[in-house]
Structure 1
Amino acid sequence: MSNDLPIRKIIHVDMDAFYASVEQLDNPELRGKPIAVGGGSARGVISAASYEARKFGVRSAMSGRLAEKLCPDLIFVRTNFDRYKEVSQQIRSIFFEYTDLVEPLSLDEAYLDVTENKKGMPSASLIAQEIRQKIFEKTGLNASAGISINKFIAKVASDINKPNGQKTVNPEDVLQFLENLDIRKFYGVGKVTAEKMYLKGIFTGKDLKSKSLEYLSENFGKSGSYYYHVVRGIHNSEVKPNRIRKSLAAERTFSENLSSEIFMLEKLEHIAEEVSKRLAKSKVSGKTITLKIKYSDFTLQTRSKTLPYFVSDKAIILETAKDLLYQDKLNNSVRLLGISLSNLNTEDSRKKAKKVIEKPISVQLKFDF
């Protein structure tokens, strides 16, 4: 590895089926059974599924009706976010025993930089193993982990030996690991992008690596540069204990599909009010307002407008959302509307980001993982 690249030991810890596992922990009668958290109402959407349910194809963000068709014995459980937050805090307290460089991504996953850690342990792999054991002893829940030189590879690795396992990608193995990886396993490559890559003969990291920066930028826009660098092991993003909020949003799923914009205006007013309250609570404003529309066939559409000034006022947010709603005809009846503000004036967003010179990896230096 080149000495002018930052050398880090990064762990990505990801709880296994977190919400569902907490419910099974608290309710012994649910253990070993297919359960879905959320999605129990006529138009509900699943927040999480146990591994027993996943065997039938049930997954998060799926409608409860479809999940029930796939798994007739599925048990629906109401969400209990207060309980999930409580357990999440217990887990994070374990992280801080090892390092203050903890970047939570959600209640159930986080990055840890243990290059220099409070225990003085040289092996990130042993740290991850110890953390997973402590999580189990403290909460009764299983966690998986990925360990490597940067956040991207650590996150990809954490999924390799799920559930209740871990994967270390040593510096000298990074390039081979990425070349052999199915393109669908690359974090940031979604279903649509994967299908587009397949059509262009890109099935593995090796295929992706064979494409030039110009080719990837031409075919995948701004993401092209990201793909070009990560497949070469280049991802210099640091673990940030205080993550920069990039957007703030609120949305609502309706009990019945709405087919006319007129019926949606009242809904938009409530959503705009909620967004305004959240902006005030976070003490931020934003310039870009995005209207999210999910149709009855579950297709998703977004419409955005960037204002010349920062806003947080409900009235302005609502008027802009209305303009976006009337911008084009609706494709179908609507089951969900959402409003988000991005391009926020957070303190960190006003600081100029330092440019990082990106250089390719060499593997001359062995590093104890």
Structure 2
Amino acid sequence: MKTGLFRSTLVIALAAALAVTGTLPALAAPARIKDIVEIEGVRENQLIGYGLVVGLNGTGDSLNNSPFTRQSMIAMLERMGVNTRGETMRTANVAAVMVTANLPPFSTQGSRIDVSVAAMGDASSLQGGTLLVTPLLGADGEAYAIAQGPVLINGFSAQGEAATVVSGVPTTGMVSSGALIEREINFALGAQHSVRLSLRNPDLTTSRRIALAINDLIGLPVAIPTDPANVRLSLPNDFNGNIVDLLTDIEQLVIQTDQAARIVINENSGIIVIGRDVRVSSVAIAHANLTISIAENPNIVQPEPFTDGVTAVEPRTQIDVNEDGTQLAVVPESISLQQLVDGLNTLGISPRDLIAILQAIKASGALQAEIEVI
């Protein structure tokens, strides 16, 4: 006998548990200006380089499968005065790696930064290895830092004759303070007469509130919201200081941030994030579960004695349909996020069902929010 179980979620669902009165006030989240904006020109720069990790205990690249490692070894040894061209090289203690780092803003020559290391070839582990001198290049092709040092990996690998145990990712790691900055990025923030404040979460209301708060503090229209993502800040002519002093004065101002009503759904993991301002208009809703059970009980039919008949199988199928009680309810106007969550928790709605529910309510025009699927 075999049994099949099918679960069907109807188009729109919430339940009478959502039919509660009252709404919660939509309070904006206060935040400092320095926590919600980026300053034009104050940014990190990404660096990348190609290098070799040596000193591995037989866990490096196989030179036959990683020709770039072989070529890099030959070129490195030639720079050291050792000629190995045409020679047979059999070592598993070297691995070719990509080295990445972020150059912080206003970094000075001689300071150090952390670097990340990732194997390129078929190396099984970088444990115990040392990164050789590796120039780190910017987007313009210029070397801004030089990396070198012992590699600290994020996992381990243990192997025997019959089994292998791997924890984490032993083919990636980092060199703490492993890069020495050789070139600075020239940007004189203090010499600027105006800068742009870029919002991390663009919003028209928040942009305007930032400008109003700055102008109220300074007493002059020095801040102008140019779009949802930017506020232009200018240095007053009679200000006692430079643009850095002005930024220091305004970055502690607390702003009531605002945001569009949005629901973010990750269908792969079933994660749902519902924004504060999400509202549901008055709508009639229903939820039901349909369970179909199919059982096969074949009947064996034997021929009569002393006949030429053959044994036959007579199929016999039993189908049971069970539909849970469906309730039709009315959700009141402008139900709040707290009421929405409380009602769904009371019903025991799973995240998978909730995704279909929210999409169906949005399709009906009753959900006052944007749904973003990632």
Q: Is this a same-fold pair by TM over 0.5?
A: no
RCO greater where, 1 or 2, for CA within 8 Å and sep 6 or more?
2
Which structure has greater strand proportion? Answer: 2
Q: TM-score, normalised by structure 1?
A: 0.24
Which structure: larger Rg?
2
